[in-house]
Structure 1
Amino acid sequence: MVYLLLIVGLILLVAGGEGFVRGSVAIAEKLGMSSLLIGLTLVGFGTSLPELVTSVQAALDGAPGIAVGNVVGSNIANILLILGITALIYPIAVDKAVLRRDGAVLVIASLAALAIVLIGALGRIAGLVLVALLIAYVIYSYFADRKSQASAGLAAEIEATGGKQPVPVSILFVIGGLALTVLGARLLVSSAVEIATALGVSETIIGLTVVAVGTSLPELVTSVIAAIRRHTDLALGNIIGSHNFNIFSILGITALIQPIPVPGEIIQLDIWVMLGATALLLGFSYTQREIVRWEGGVLLALYAGYIGWLALGAIG
């Protein structure tokens, strides 16, 4: 029964996040917001909504391993698993404009996460700093994109996301999406804690694996569809943006709502895996104009090795 609740929680998270994005984008279009601003704010926050609500719920429930592990594990999965699968399906085009804009922010966000982990606690001061960095990132991205062609395909993507639905229907999508996401997060966190207890493994490992991959499902589905349709030029920017949003918004807002300690397991291993994956992503991106299939295979193999290592540790 608890495994069924876990699956139901994941489904509700994905459905709730999708509904929130569709409704909020449609309302923003009716209010005259530009496609660029919608993409940088509502779509960015909306795709990170499952991770955000899950981490906040876990922090409130006294499960810091799930709260922090969800963010670190999601970023690892985004780079090694999702980009790996996407590149294997079809090579990922590297947009140098997006890389120049977001690459430096990617490094800053990763180092900020490292600093918080080494301090050993996610406190409100750190939360304020992260949220301030998030606001600066959104403003910087907006003005940078206005001067470049990096967002050329954004209008079509947002139109497909928001649709032309009436405002009352859009409001129902927003409210229903939030409700489903909150309910899904409660089911996911409670069932994940129960499973960890029953299996005798730490909440952190569950957060790094099952919860992290589950809350990254929207990015996975989007990237795979983009690869099948040969539109991988957006995949890299989406993954980098998700990485930055996860650190700035999820860790920041979670810290403001409920300060939590950082589990020792993340300090010892997982933050370094995230940094290594980030360095590998930047290395593959800067060496040529695309992330080719063999590089995707390397990313996927490294993720399999990482999960295998966690499994061995849990068994031990």
Structure 2
Amino acid sequence: MDWLFVAGGLVVLTIGAELLIRGSTALARKFGVSDLLIGLTLVGFGTSTPELVSSVQAGLMGSPGVAVGNVVGSNIANILLILGLSVAIAPFAVDIKSFGRDGAVVLIATLAAIGVSMTGEFSRPAGFAFLAAILAYILYAFLTERRHPESPKAVEHAAAGAEAPKGPKSPALDIAFAVAGLLLLILGAKHLVTGAISIAGALGVSETIIGLTIVAIGTSLPELVTSVMAALRGKSALALGNVVGSNIYNIFGILGLTAVIRPVDAPAEIVAFDNWVMLGATLLMIHFVTTRSRLDRLEGAVMTLCYAGYVAWLVFNA
């Protein structure tokens, strides 16, 4: 039954995220909001809503291992699994100038998360600081793109946002889509977190391990589907922007909002090990991108194998 809760929760989360993105982007277009801003905000944050509602729900239920593990595990999976698979499917060249800003921001966000976690708690003041950082990032990214419209999209998930499927034609239906999506997200997150906590108890493993694996991979499904589909369509470069943007949102947006709503402890095992895996994955991505300005199948295979090794380590040391 617990596995059904998790599976059902993941399905509902995925459907909810899709409805929320469709409804909100269509509504924003009707009010004249640019595709760029839609991509930077509604779509960028929309694909991270499963992580958001799951982490907030876990925080409210007093399960910091799931709340923090979900974000850290998702960021690791985004780089090593999702980007790795996308590159393995279709290698692509990278515009270093385009990657520079967002690559630096994702590294800063990763270091900030590690620094705060070493204090033992994601406190409310830290949460407000993270939220201020994500707002500053969105504003800076938007102003940069507006100032240099001829340059390639530095925030490639914004470009993905411009290609997001349009929602229904009626504003009332747009609102209904968005509200229904939000409600499904909340419902799906509740079932997912409840099932994950029960599974952890039944298997005799920590909630943190479940958060780092089952919950993290499950809530990353929107990014996985978006990136793999982009690769199959010959647009693998979008996967890089999708991953980088999602990781920035996960740390500054999700951990920030979770901490503001209810401060959460930083699990000792994440502070001691998984944080450094997240940092290593981030540095590996930056190294691969900046050394040759291209991501090939070899790099994709290395990242995917690294993720398999990481999950194997978690399982054998559970």
Q: TM-score range by the shorter chain?
A: over 0.9
Aligned to 2:48: 48
> Could you tell me how far apart the structure 2 residues matched to 1:74 and 1:90 are?
22
After superposition, the CA RMSD in angstroms is 1.4
- Structure 1 residues 97 and 22, CA gap change in structure 2 (3 angstroms): farther
- Structure 1 residues 313 and 243, CA gap change in structure 2 (3 angstroms): same
Aligned to 1:167: 171
Aligned to 1:178: 182
Aligned to 2:5: 5
Aligned to 1:236: 240
Aligned to 2:99: 99
> Could you tell me how far apart the structure 2 residues matched to 1:183 and 1:301 are?
34
Task: Flag as ranges the 4+ runs of structure 1 deviating above 2 A.
Answer: 95-98, 148-165
Which residue identity lines up with residue 56 of structure 1 in the other structure? V
- Structure 1 residues 164 and 92, CA gap change in structure 2 (3 angstroms): farther
Is the Cα contact below 8 Å between 1:88 and 1:292 reproduced in 2? yes
> Could you tell me how far apart the structure 1 residues matched to 2:43 and 2:74 are?
17
Matches within 5 A, 1:65-104: 65-104=65-104
> Could you tell me how far apart the structure 2 residues matched to 1:71 and 1:13 are?
16
> Could you tell me how far apart the structure 1 residues matched to 2:93 and 2:24 are?
29
Is the Cα contact below 8 Å between 1:92 and 1:236 reproduced in 2? no
Is the Cα contact below 8 Å between 1:17 and 1:46 reproduced in 2? yes
- The percentage of aligned residue pairs carrying the same residue is 54
Deviations along 1:126-162, whole A, 9 cap, x unmatched?
A: 0011001011000011011121433398567535433
Which residue identity lines up with residue 112 of structure 1 in the other structure? A
TM-score (norm 1): 0.96
Gaps of 5+ in 1: none
Gaps of 5+ in 2: none
> Could you tell me how far apart the structure 2 residues matched to 1:112 and 1:155 are?
27
Aligned to 2:222: 218
Which residue identity lines up with residue 307 of structure 1 in the other structure? V
Deviations along 1:1-31, whole A, 9 cap, x unmatched?
A: 1111110000011110111011000000000
Deviations along 1:282-308, whole A, 9 cap, x unmatched?
A: 000001222100110000110000000
Does 2:174 align with 1:194?
A: no
- Structure 1 residues 267 and 160, CA gap change in structure 2 (3 angstroms): closer
> Could you tell me how far apart the structure 1 residues matched to 2:63 and 2:152 are?
39
TM-fit CA distance, 1:233: 1.8
- Structure 1 residues 139 and 170, CA gap change in structure 2 (3 angstroms): same
Which residue identity lines up with residue 45 of structure 2 in the other structure? F
Counting matched residue pairs gives: 314
> Could you tell me how far apart the structure 1 residues matched to 2:241 and 2:164 are?
18
